[in-house]
Amino acid sequence: MTLDDALEQLNTHQDAEKAEQSASYHKAPRVYLGIANPIINDLTKAWRADMTVEERVDLADALWETDIYEARLAAAKLLTQARIKDDDDVWGLIASWVDDFDSWAIADHACMAGQKRLIADPSRIDHIESWTTSDHMWTRRAALVITLPWTKQNHPKPLDLEIRQRVLGWAADYVSDREWFIQKAIAWWLRDLSKHDAEAVRSFLAQHGPQMKPFAAKEAAKYLKF
């Protein structure tokens, strides 16, 4: 599968009206094709079936570099897989994309691919920590989105609990950041965690909730019973 082949298949599903709506919604200046997510899912699933990991990395890199909205989603989807042997190149490519993030949808798809690689090798959390002090808002946000799997264990192992506490520390440092997307990411992390460790979220909100934006504190507490 070459880049030209992939773009040709994507282009056959263009929808000008949806493309215009997508451009208006996401606002980031780039080409939009107006292709629905399920179609991109089907295309990338078919591509993955006939490609080696190395070929997928090369194609994902090329798709990302086009800066076409749907091509960047396809790049992320090509690399979203739980088990990948010798995944350093996959992780390296995903991590390299973070500086390019400029909209939530592309960032979230890339982070979903990154979550699989972080679960595969939790030591990569050290790399993620460097994102938390970036001048780039989307990079700071990505540190919370890519670590969302650590909100979901009812009985975390000691390493998982350590990572959870570490990310909660990042979230606490973010509380003074007034960017809407950062506040939303804090709320998202806490809201998901509250389903599995309500007491940790209550403790966080008791200490930091008054400094959060009201909408974020309310969202974080959505599933809590006080």
Q: How many folded domains does the chain comprise?
A: 2
Contact 174, 204 (CB under 8 A): no
Output the CA angle 92-93-97, nearest 5 degrees: 115
Report the phi/psi class of residue 31: left, alpha or beta, with left for phi > 0 and alpha for psi in -120 to 50: beta
Same domain, residue pair 4 and 53: yes
At which of 120, 143, 164 does a domain end?
120
Report pLDDT for 5. Answer: 96
**For residues 211 and 173, is the Cβ–Cβ distance under 8 A?**
no
Other beta carbons within 10 angstroms of residue 76's beta carbon come to 24
In whole angstroms, give the CA distance from residue 32 to residue 16: 9
Length of the chain: 226
Domain shared by 206 and 178, yes or no: yes
Q: What is the pLDDT along the chain (226 residues), one digit of tens a residue?
A: 899 999 999 999 999 999 999 999 998 999 999 999 999 999 999 999 989 999 999 999 999 999 999 999 999 999 999 999 999 999 999 999 999 999 999 999 999 999 999 999 999 999 999 999 999 999 999 999 999 999 999 999 999 999 999 999 999 999 999 999 999 999 999 999 999 999 999 999 999 999 999 999 999 999 998 6
The per-residue pLDDT for 69 is: 97
Q: Within 13 Å and on the Cβ side, how many CA atoms surround 112?
A: 15
Is pTM beyond 0.85? Reply is yes
For residue range 58-89, list pLDDT tens digits in order.
999 999 999 999 999 999 999 999 999 999 99
pLDDT for 21-53, tens place per residue? 999 999 899 999 999 999 999 999 999 998 999
Neighbours of 207 (CB within 10 A): 11
Same domain, 113 and 153: no
Instruction: Write down the pLDDT at residue 59.
Output: 98
Any idea which residue has 């107006």 for tokens?
Answer: 34
* Spatial separation of the C-alpha atoms in residues 135 and 118, rounded to whole Å: 23
Say whether both 102 and 165 belong to one domain.
no
Which residue range(s) make up the domain with 214? 125-226
Closest of 98, 68, 94 to residue 3, by C-alpha: 68
Domain boundary among 120, 135, 150: 120
